[in-house]
């Protein structure tokens, strides 16, 4: 998005004035309201839809597929709807998609949930995370990671058990091998949650405008800010899982150190809020749905 010099300067002056003024009346560290719903894609193993203030909209879904061989890596794919970026040419849109995919893959693919093995060394669930950006009204990175985290949190791994056909005891054969095949333990059961589902990182984007930084920029603000610092944190720890600078501005090392500490604080708050919402979603979809079903007459 390109904006005029006058608008750029207006936004920058607003951010730097005391008290800071932003277009929608938020303070520098306020997020817009975020709506999140899990379990929106019936055919996926886990899914989530995230909406930031009726603007940025993201749909994330995970799919598990049986694969031969040892435990494969998690693969993430980000697709941007052309409707979200009407001003971009198809080639430029491909580049945006590739960049977001590389960012998400680089951060998430190192995680190996511990319960994706079906038959050790032989068969495993390959976990695919596909995300669609339906609309972009700023801060798409933070939204991506939140949606990814929600979808992975929501993912259920089907329960399986090994199957083997043994010769009768008295036949003389000794069958002590591992089971060669598997079956689903229960077709109707959703399964168990992914291992380590609270260790997925959240991303926090610090938009840096000379001496101040602010969170959750809208498109106009993104266009007028020279530098963004992306931080991916996971808790407990905290552990930094990724860091990027984007833009033409520069920083000094002491500034980066201060921003890292600040970012950690914001990331923790975001993570706690997200966890609270996700647990609430779990209750809504299980406990409350069951209660409603019982009281239907």
Partner 1 sequence: MAQSGFDRRRINGPEESFPPIYGDDDIENSVWKLGMTRKGRNPNDIRPIFLQPGLITQANGSAYIETDKTKVACAIYGPRQSKNATYNENGRLNVEVKFAPYSCEQRKAPMRDAEDRSLAVAIHQALLPSVRLELLPKSTIDVFIVIIESDGIEGCIASGSVAASTALADAGIEMFGLAVACSAALVGEEIWLDPTAHEVQASTGSLILSTMPALGLVTSVWQNGQMRPEQVLKCLDLCQERCTEIHSIVAQALLDNVRLS
Minimum distance from residue 94 beta carbon to partner 1 (Å): 9
String marking each residue 221-240 x if it binds partner 1 according to CB under 8 A: --------x----x--xxxx
In the list 159, 166, 257, 284, the residue contacting partner 1 (rule: CB under 8 A) is 257
What gap in Å lies between CA 95 and CA 264, rounded to an integer?
29
Q: Does 247 bind partner 1 (CB under 8 A)?
A: yes
The count of residues interacting with partner 1 (CB under 8 A) is 32
CA atoms within 13 A of residue 69's CA, in its CB half-sphere: 5
Beta pairing class for 75-80 and 123-135: parallel
Nearest distance in Å: CB 46, partner 1:
23
CB 202 within 8 A of CB 233: yes
Q: Please, which residue, 50 or 230, has the CB nearer to partner 1?
A: 230
Q: Which is nearer to partner 1, 120 or 237 (CB)?
A: 237
- Please state the φ and ψ torsions of residue 260, each to the nearest 5 degrees: -60, -45
Residue 124 neighbours by CB under 8 Å, 6+ apart = 66, 67, 69, 70, 71, 72, 116, 117, 118
Considering only 29, 135, 219, 246, the residue that binds partner 1 (CB under 8 A) is: 246
Stretch that binds partner 1, among 141-149, 214-222, 256-264, 284-292 (CB under 8 A): 256-264
Q: How far is the CB of 240 from partner 1 (least distance, A)?
A: 5
Round to whole Å and give the CA distance between 106 and 100: 10
Q: Which of 7, 68, 99, 186 binds partner 1 (CB under 8 A)?
A: 99
Contact call for residue 126 and partner 1 (CB under 8 A):
no
In angstroms, rounded to a whole number, what is the distance separating the alpha carbons of residues 282 and 287? 8
- State the Cα–Cα distance between residues 153 and 293, nearest whole angstrom: 24
**By the rule CB under 8 A, 248 interacts with partner 1:** yes
We find the least distance from the C-beta atom of residue 249 to partner 1, in angstroms, to be 6
Whole-Å CA distances, 289 to 41, 157, 176, 272:
17, 21, 45, 25
164 lines the binding site for partner 1 (CB under 8 A): no
CA dist 76 and 102 (Å) reads 9
Instruction: Give the pair of three-digit tokens for residue 275.
Output: 């966890």
Q: Nearer to partner 1 by C-beta: 224 or 234? A: 234
Among 66, 250, 265, 276, binds partner 1 (CB under 8 A): 250
Q: Which of 244, 269, 282, 285 binds partner 1 (CB under 8 A)?
A: 244
Establish if 261 lies at the interface with partner 1 (CB under 8 A).
yes
Q: Please report whether residue 77 would count as binding partner 1 according to CB under 8 A.
A: no
CB 200 within 8 A of CB 2: no
Which one of residues 107, 160, 205, 224 is an interface residue with partner 1 (CB under 8 A)? 107
Dihedral angle at the C-alpha atoms of 247, 251, 255, 261, nearest 10 degrees?
Answer: 30
Out of 87, 114, 253, 293, the only residue in the binding site for partner 1 (CB under 8 A) is 253
> Can you tell me which residue has the tokens 């779990």?
282
- What the block records as the tokens of 172 is 């003389």
Residue 55 in contact with partner 1, rule: CB under 8 A: no
Binding site for partner 1 (CB under 8 A): 95, 98-99, 101-102, 106-107, 110, 229, 234, 237-253, 256-257, 260-261, 264
């Amino acid at each position: 998005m390109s904006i005029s010099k006058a608008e750029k300067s207006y936004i920058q002056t607003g951010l730097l004035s005391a008290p800071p003024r932003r277009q929608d009346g938020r303070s520098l560290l306020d997020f817009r309201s975020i709506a999140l719903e899990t379990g929106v894609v019936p055919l996926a193993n886990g899914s989530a839809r995230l909406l930031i203030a009726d603007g940025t909209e993201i749909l994330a879904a995970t799919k598990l597929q049986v694969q031969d061989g040892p435990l494969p890596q998690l693969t993430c794919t980000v697709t941007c709807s052309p409707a979200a970026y009407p001003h971009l040419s198809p080639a430029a849109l491909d580049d945006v998609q590739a960049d977001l995919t590389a960012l998400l893959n680089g951060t998430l693919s190192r995680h190996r949930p511990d319960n994706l093995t079906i038959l050790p060394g032989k068969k495993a669930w390959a976990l695919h995370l596909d995300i669609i950006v339906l609309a972009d009204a700023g801060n798409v990175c933070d939204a991506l990671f939140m949606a990814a985290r929600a979808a992975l949190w929501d993912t259920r791994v089907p329960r399986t058990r090994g199957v083997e056909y043994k010769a009768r005891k008295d036949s003389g054969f000794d069958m002590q091998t591992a089971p060669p095949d598997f079956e689903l333990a229960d077709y109707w059961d959703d399964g168990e949650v992914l291992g380590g589902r609270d260790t997925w990182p959240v991303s926090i984007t610090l938009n840096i405008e000379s001496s101040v930084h602010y969170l959750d920029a809208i498109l106009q603000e993104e266009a007028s800010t020279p530098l963004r610092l992306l931080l991916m944190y996971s808790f407990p720890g905290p552990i930094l899982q990724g860091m990027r600078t984007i833009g033409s501005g520069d920083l000094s090392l002491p500034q980066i150190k201060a921003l890292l500490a600040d970012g950690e604080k914001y990331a923790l708050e975001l993570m706690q809020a997200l966890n609270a919402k996700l647990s609430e979603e779990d209750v809504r979809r299980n406990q409350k749905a069951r209660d409603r079903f019982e009281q239907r007459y």
